[in-house]
Amino acid sequence: MPRRSTQEWIRLSLRTPGILIFGMVLAPCGWILNLTATVAPNWRTLHNIPDTQADEFIQQGIWEICRATSTNTRTDCTLEDTEYFNNQIIEVAQGLMVASLIVTLIGLAVAIPGVRCWRDRPNWILAGLGGLLIFLSGVMTIIPIAWYTHILEEVSTVTPSIDVRVGYCIILGYIGGIFEILGGFVMFIGICRCCGGKNRGETRIEEVTGPRFRNQKQPTRRVEVPSLDRPRSVASSVPYSKDSMDEDVSFPRAKSPAARSANTSYGGRPYDADL
């Protein structure tokens, strides 16, 4: 009998594998965070600016610069700073952040047909390629975020008296990039079977149809049998129950007369009617 060259695998459940669910949840969340970090003008904030009010500060992003105050929610985003936008990091960040958003959408579009949970087996090639694109989009987000943070005080000329602080876009960019890197990597490892097929939720056919699996004792199924006892009516016209008749009472009961036997002899004189 020829020996099989390749092993056959089977999925015991039709549920979507956990690695695909993990990636398809983290990728959109990371995309939303990266979108906020891209369009919001708060990569860094400048406080204690000379010749300005004490509560006034400037927010600088990769697309625009805004002036705001801590006492007023209204911001003025018409400021211009040629020196700031001429920095190399700003041009690189604009290109990579936009490219990351586009690549994430492409990765999701590629991964969705491969993840389809209504089939017996996902298309691991498409799902893995989609995960690879999502992973690369996360890397493209981390690069400008980390670079900008490293040269936070060197992006443009600032005086020593100005307090430079990290904006919330940097935090969101880090979180979004990490989400996409983790989600894409976990989806990509499904492109090859590892850990005995556990990453895909698969198992060998030999393990399922082998004698060890067949000899396992199946658990007995418990069958609920309906009870035939009819409940005793509460509203009964009889003032006593059957059980109460066997209980002792406080007065003596009358004895029932003994039945006369037909064969009992009579010791007296017979009457005429008896002859």
The pLDDT assigned to 178 comes to 95
Residue 131, domain member (yes or no): yes
Highest mean pLDDT among 12-26, 124-138, 252-266: 124-138
Mean pLDDT of 141-164: 85
* Domain extent for 193: 9-40+86-158+168-211
Output the domain CATH number for residue 147. 1.20.140.150
Flag whether 153 is in a domain. yes
Number of structural domains (the chain) is: 1
Q: What is the mean pLDDT of residues 184-194?
A: 77
What pLDDT does 143 receive? Answer: 95
Q: Is residue 237 part of a domain?
A: no
- In a domain, residue 192? The reply is yes
How far apart (Å, rounded) are the C-alpha atoms in residues 21 and 115? Answer: 9
Give the tens place of pLDDT for each residue, 36-70: 999 999 899 888 887 777 778 888 889 998 888 87
Most confident of 2-6, 14-18, 21-25: 21-25
CA gap 69, 238 in Å, rounded: 88
Query: Does any domain span residue 124?
Result: yes
Compute the distance between CA of residue 194 and CA of residue 197 in angstroms, rounded to an integer.
5
pTM higher than the cut 0.75: no
Q: Does a structural domain hold residue 225? A: no
Q: Which of 190, 240, 182 is nearest to 9 (CA)?
A: 190
